[in-house]
Amino acid sequence: MALTRVSPSLFATSNNITSVTVGGSANTISLTFDASGVITSASNNAVSVANTAITGNIISSQITSVANTQISGNIISSQITSIGGSQITANTIANSAIQTGAVENYMNATGLSFGMRNRIINGAMVIDQRNAGASVTASTSAPYSVDRWQIYSSPSSKFTVQQTPSATETGYATRVGAGFTNYLGCTSSSAYTVTSSDLFFVQQPIEAFNTSDLAFGTANAKTITLSFWAYSSLTGTFGGALQNYAINRSYPFSYTISSANTWTQISVTITGDTSGSWSSGSNTGSIIVLFSLGMGSTRSGTANAWVAGDYRSVTGATSVVGTNGATFYITGVQLEKGSTATSFDYRPYGTELQLCQRYYENSFEVGTAVANGQNATAVLIYSLNGSADRSQGIFFKVQKRALSTFNLYSPNISGQTAGQWMVYAGSWSNGSSTTISDNGYQYFHIQTTFAATQNYTYLTSGNWTASAEL
């Protein structure tokens, strides 16, 4: 079949021609014209049209779909407003189709980043240097459970916390499927009625070096997003807060757990605080991220707004400590710049451990809880004067945030005295005292007093912990 080019005026209304159908029943093109002879609509059941036969524009509204195998040339990006993900075979786009820097520019423009998106350390609860998975009772001394996570109970002993790697809780497949092998499990120890001044929470303070780019306390404060997975035997509205380290600026937030004993993914977007005092570019504390297990009315406020003062939850939030045996589990905690919760920033175990060791380190074997009478490290000690002598320098695995606070523990040797290192001089014996000397950011010495021969070298043994927590 051949078409002859004709003037549009032939189809003007004055000639009484308003439509034309060309072709047979299996391969037709139908055209409709306006009063000026301009084509206003077209329909066809043509099998194909060679691309060399099209020299003008094709109205997009007339095309419902194009098979990807039919496109072999270039598509001008300005002509495309959106492409469904299912239209990209195997979710791939050739590198040549993406302009250099386009992905990086998009990430920067949307407040996302490639390096350490998550400002929370140990958000997946995989590191527990102190307790090796043992239960910890919350108290007013604010002990640490898993690394970097502090627990507080006032009055003391109203809940316990434990790193839990088991896959036994109802619905555990959801957690494991999301990539989390561990969670922080909180269990209420009684049915306690919270009074106005009581506080029960789990929190992590973040170092100011890690939040400087958020510019809190300035007109350029960035929006941030907190995301996490939560699970409870209770349902309802739960609460938490973000605070500055001075605890005089607070952002209470709420979230809902609708189904008991079900892992629920939560996301809270928070506008950056343009007021208040926020540390930046230093080793002091900056943002505190806090999850409430029960909060007195004087420390509870309105959700989703920055306010002056100390508010650590929202008014009317569920009290976990109010029900004996009630549970609250949490994992996958992430705090990042931007208004979107992205996938969890998984880091290698060794990297996460080193991040934790900036704040806390010990000499115990991995998987061993801190205690007297455990297998211990041994170092050489040189007697300079026959009495009080120091060991060779002991170097930290990671430089500390600040000068450390130490605790010393006796070794697993017969006759040991709690808190004392032992010295070998033909046989093991306790030193009369053991202290830390030359405390630094990178190393320290153990100084032990014992009866020794001057200019002799001895072996001393014990364990230590060093804390440089915020």
Please give the model's pTM, rounded to 2 decimal places.
Answer: 0.79
Question: Greater confidence, 460 or 58?
Answer: 460
For residue 4, name the pLDDT band (cuts at 50, 70, 90). very low
Q: 255 with 234: CB under 8 angstroms?
A: no
> Are 342 and 373 in a shared domain?
no
Choose one of 98, 114, 144: the last residue of a domain. 98
Q: 351 with 118: CB under 8 angstroms?
A: no
> Are 145 and 284 in a shared domain?
yes
Would you give the DSSP letter of residue 393?
P
**Rounded to an integer, what distance in angstroms lies between the CA atom of residue 147 and that of residue 127?**
6
Choose one of 332, 353, 374: the last residue of a domain. 353
Tell whether 3 is covered by a domain. Answer: no
> Are 335 and 421 in a shared domain?
no
**Rounded to an integer, what distance in angstroms lies between the CA atom of residue 402 and that of residue 442?**
10
**Rounded to an integer, what distance in angstroms lies between the CA atom of residue 262 and that of residue 359?**
33
> Are 316 and 380 in a shared domain?
no
Tell whether 331 is covered by a domain. Answer: yes
Tell whether 103 is covered by a domain. Answer: no
> Are 339 and 376 in a shared domain?
no
Half-sphere exposure of 80 (CA within 13 A, CB side): 8
> Are 181 and 284 in a shared domain?
yes
**Rounded to an integer, what distance in angstroms lies between the CA atom of residue 42 and that of residue 63?**
11
> Are 282 and 147 in a shared domain?
yes
For residue 444, name the pLDDT band (cuts at 50, 70, 90). very high
> Are 272 and 162 in a shared domain?
yes
pLDDT tens readout for residues 388-405: 577 878 999 999 999 999
pLDDT of residue 321: 98
Tell whether 371 is covered by a domain. Answer: yes
Distances from the Cα of 374 to the Cα of 64, 347, 450, angstroms: 73, 30, 22
Provide DSSP, 298-349: GGEE-SSS-EES---EETT---GGGSTT-EEEEEEEEEEESSS--S-----H
**Rounded to an integer, what distance in angstroms lies between the CA atom of residue 341 and that of residue 349?**
22
Closest CA to 253 of 272, 267, 243, 239: 239
Tell whether 119 is covered by a domain. Answer: no
> Are 338 and 306 in a shared domain?
yes
End-to-end Cα separation, the chain, in angstroms = 84
Rounded to 5°, angle at Cα 321 from 318 and 325: 110
> Are 344 and 369 in a shared domain?
no
**Residue 55 pLDDT exceeds 90:** no
Q: 42 with 62: CB under 8 angstroms?
A: yes
Tell whether 228 is covered by a domain. Answer: yes
The answer to whether the bond into 155 is cis (omega within 30° of 0) is yes
- Written as one letter, the residue type at 238 is F
Tell whether 2 is covered by a domain. Answer: no
Tell whether 113 is covered by a domain. Answer: no
> Are 240 and 217 in a shared domain?
yes
- Give me the CATH number covering residue 184: 2.60.120.260
Q: Which two tokens stand for residue 189?
A: 């120890």
Q: 329 with 164: CB under 8 angstroms?
A: yes
**Rounded to an integer, what distance in angstroms lies between the CA atom of residue 133 and that of residue 121?**
18
pLDDT tens readout for residues 349-370: 999 999 999 999 999 998 999 9
Distances from the Cα of 399 to the Cα of 104, 341, 440, 448, angstroms: 32, 31, 9, 24
Q: Which two tokens stand for residue 428?
A: 């093991």
Question: Greater confidence, 76 or 235?
Answer: 235
Q: Which residues of 215-248 are buried (b: 16+ CB within 10 A; e: fewer)?
A: bbbeeebbebbbbbbbbbbbeeebbbbbbbbeee
CA-only gyration radius of the chain, Å:
34
pLDDT of residue 73: 59
Structural domain that includes position 349? 136-353
Q: Which two tokens stand for residue 415?
A: 């006759």
Q: Where are the alpha helices (DSSP H) in 36-144?
A: 102-109
pLDDT tens readout for residues 94-135: 555 566 555 555 665 555 556 789 999 999 999 999 999 999
The structural domain count of the chain equals: 3
**Rounded to an integer, what distance in angstroms lies between the CA atom of residue 94 and that of residue 271?**
37
Choose one of 43, 78, 98: the last residue of a domain. 98
Work out whether strand 300-301 and strand 313-314 pair parallel, antiparallel, or are unpaired.
parallel
Half-sphere exposure of 28 (CA within 13 A, CB side): 9
> Are 310 and 423 in a shared domain?
no
